[in-house]
Structure 1
Amino acid sequence: MGHTDEDRRVTDFFQPFFTDAAFWGKVAYQGVWWGGFRTIDVSDPRRPRVLSEVDCGVFQGDIGVWGDLVFRSVDSPVTATNAQQTCANDSPAVLAPAGGFEGIQIFRVKDPRRASARDLVTVVGTDCGSHTHTVVPDLRNGRILLYVSSSGAAPEYAATRFGNSCSAEHGKFQVVEVPIRAPQRARVIADVPLGRSADATVANDCHDIGVLMNQGRRLAVCAGDVAVLFDITNPAAPRFLRSFSAPGVSSWHSGQFSYDGRVAVMGWEPGGGVAPECEAADPAVNKSIFFFDTRTGRLLGTWQLPRPQSATENCTIHNYGIVPTARRDVLVTGAYQAGTWVVDFTDPRRPRTLAWTDPPSYDPANLTLAGAWGSYWYNGHIYETNITEGLNIYRLRHPAVRGARWQPFLNPQTQLGPVR
């Protein structure tokens, strides 16, 4: 349908390429790996228009939004003594080796057309940083909760002036409370232990945390060393239910649910997203999505990427979202240089491909980081946040998504109902 028509070639990991995206009304908020985020007018999907660029902070830059509040993840210690100094983009030579700030930046963006680093309200240090975060509304208590994923427990350091520390024995995720009317009072309110799997494997951290809040089903799943399922009837105090995994998967990357809560949808990232893991000779487990029964943790089935990629295309199943409809169970996923895919998993034992885009290799002569970071269904269109290209927008005409719920906002990893 439309695109922002850009090309930000990635030569190292200290550059402002694009990461995840969130939506509020007709504005998209797109994270920037090394630099901040930007706002995009998507009122006309044929002509998305960049409104502002905010230069503030280092990687990973994943983004969340609630009203005029914008949340951004920082997953590397940076030298700072106050909130505004976290905007400084430390060069690789002066990155704080230990004891610097990492965690959540909170902005109040009253006008997306004029967003800037001056909109930074406060920061909240979180243990081992925030690789990404999940927005969990708790409106009865006038607050937004953020489930913070640390991804990895490194580097180790003692508590900083921002309250964050990092230990190799992490074993938890943290809950940050953001009062909607007083975001400057945001703070960590809980450590949530991840527990042990049936074979006594310790779940040390979460890469992503998927959340479902729909018609009485309130679940969260930590995608980490093992997948850990929680009851979040009280969203400020998640309660451990069970854990599960699959043969050949060393650590989970992403997790979501069918909207009825019966199926957990899990993916992982062999090669860290920078390797060509979808070649014809690669094992199926490297290029699959996994479907589990949430009541038992039993593996129900898998979907395998059906089109082999070349040795110059970084590829795994990366970030995805579930189409908000009760008619079918349908997901949309980005797969780096394999593009965007739409999968019907209404029968998780026999999932099927509905639609796809698979562009040619970004650089046929060299392996380089590029492609679809994440792809999401939002109000009748598929929005692909692309590492080098910015935002690509597609229309899908298929009966499986007919009647999908119109949403006033969308955050990665957060599924809110009801759907019909």
Structure 2
Amino acid sequence: NYDGFRIFDISKPKAPKTVAQVLCPGSQNDISVSGDLLFLSTDSSRSDSSCNSTTQPATEKSSWEGIKVFDISDKQNPKYVAAVETACGSHTHTLVPERKNVYVYVSSYSPNAAYPDCQPPHDGISVIKVPRKAPEKAAVVGFPVLFPGEGPDGGGNPGGPTNPGVSKTTGCHDITVLPEEDLAAGACMGDGILFSIKNPEKPKVIDRVQDNVNFAFWHSATFNQKANKVVFTDELGGGGAATCTAEIGPNRGADGVYDIVGKGDKRKLVFRSYFKIPRHQGPTEVCVAHNGSLIPVEGKDIMVQAWYQGGVSVWDFTDSASPQEIAYFERGPVDTERLTTAGPWSAYYYNGYIYSNDIAKGFDVLKIDDKRTNPAKRVHLPELNVQTQPDYFD
């Protein structure tokens, strides 16, 4: 959360316990873990890189934003070991783990000519290399430009007024990698991209798509297990609007299901369908397609996804042209009188349970019992970062 992070013991999923709570303010504080290393994103301008920092304008050169690294070998006493400043901070990040090093792809956006460390066009990502045995030596090793173009606006989607209602691309919001396939998908504001990570320090874009009719903000991406499909989510309304109403309709603020066709660096993204929860929400319920993950059922493409006050949805996109919801959990409106941000921000499947972060209620553990998803219970992983998708059936 924006104040820091918490560590839970989920060895008994029905009775999770807080093991540690670390105070380290700085939005969004997105987290990933690899072995004994925990990575924390800071996307707000701070006075310095410490956990005692205060807010400070991004117009000041001394301000800091970026990635913090913690040693969590002692779960009850995490140790802050490194900080790496990155251009425009770190809204989210994605790990590409190797035996000796962990590469961190840092996604950030919204540059401004008045910000010394966040200059436009900022059409790329920062790549950080973290030696496992010496994380204090973590450093930026590159800034690959994903949307090359001339001029101050770069080569990404120009957004409005050229494409009204579409975000201008000034970086990426989120990236998901499939290390076993040397493949990554980027949700980059006004663009969706597919790129090769054969050389993790120098990712290479191999295809790029736009949807200037129904997508407002490309938010996140999820591959299927066979790496022949990818789901992109649209964060219509920026996570602060009631976008699951009858008036908005089924195609805006939805997921976009794309097939991946071809081989190697000639692979292409081909649009097949939209998916949106089939239950209309009220005008006071902030509802948006948000963070989710695969449910590992061999031979099927099923994922669980958070929709804020739209709840938690489980849906099947095995037929990419006709995705269907098969289960959901929803609490109902938090407030029927005024527009309220609440509900599940994320919903991730891990070793038989769905773990969800409800903005208003806190940490949820959900159990799904369905013949279509029960085979996933046989899959057990020692570690999971949703943006670093594993080979579940290796």
- Equivalents in 2 of 1:183, 1:70: separation in Å? 11
- Equivalents in 1 of 2:330, 2:25: separation in Å? 32
Matched, 1:193 2:145: yes
- Equivalents in 2 of 1:156, 1:305: separation in Å? 41
2:393 aligned partner = 419
Amino acid at match of 1:73: S
Q: Say if 1:174 and 1:281 are closer, same or farther in 2 by CA, change over 3 A.
A: same
Matches for 1:6-405 after TM superposition, within 5 Å: 32-33=1-2, 35-80=3-48, 83-84=49-50, 87-88=51-52, 90=54, 94-99=56-61, 100-115=63-78, 119-139=79-99, 142-154=100-112, 156-158=114-116, 165-195=117-147, 201-202=156-157, 203-214=169-180, 217-224=181-188, 225-246=190-211, 247-295=213-261, 296-404=268-376, 405=379
Asked if the contact 2:215/2:253 (under 8 Å) is kept, the reply is no
Deviations for 1:33-90, whole angstroms, at most 9, x for unmatched residues? 2x1101111111111111211001311111011122111000011112xx43xx1252
Deviations for 1:229-263, whole angstroms, at most 9, x for unmatched residues? 10112222211101012232133001121111111
Deviations for 1:138-172, whole angstroms, at most 9, x for unmatched residues? 22xx01111110032247422xxxxxx21121010
Greater RCO, 1 or 2 (C-alpha within 8 Å, sep 6+): 1
TM-score by length of structure 2 reads: 0.89
SS of the aligned residue for 2:143 comes to strand
Could you tell me which runs of 5 or more consecutive residues in structure 2 were left unpaired when the two chains were aligned.
Answer: 150-154, 158-168, 262-267
SS of the aligned residue for 1:110 comes to coil
Asked if the contact 1:156/1:168 (under 8 Å) is kept, the reply is no
SS of the aligned residue for 1:385 comes to strand
Amino acid at match of 2:177: V
CA RMSD of aligned residues (A): 1.8
Identity %, equivalent residues: 34
SS of the aligned residue for 1:284 comes to coil
- Equivalents in 1 of 2:381, 2:321: separation in Å? 29
Runs ≥4 in structure 1, deviation > 6 angstroms? none
- Equivalents in 1 of 2:253, 2:236: separation in Å? 9
Asked if the contact 2:251/2:275 (under 8 Å) is kept, the reply is no
Asked if the contact 1:212/1:256 (under 8 Å) is kept, the reply is no
1:408 aligned partner = 382
Amino acid at match of 2:192: A
Deviation (angstroms), 1:213: 2.4
TM-score by length of structure 1 reads: 0.83
Asked if the contact 1:128/1:155 (under 8 Å) is kept, the reply is no
Asked if the contact 1:138/1:235 (under 8 Å) is kept, the reply is no
- Equivalents in 2 of 1:309, 1:381: separation in Å? 26
Deviation (angstroms), 1:286: 2.7
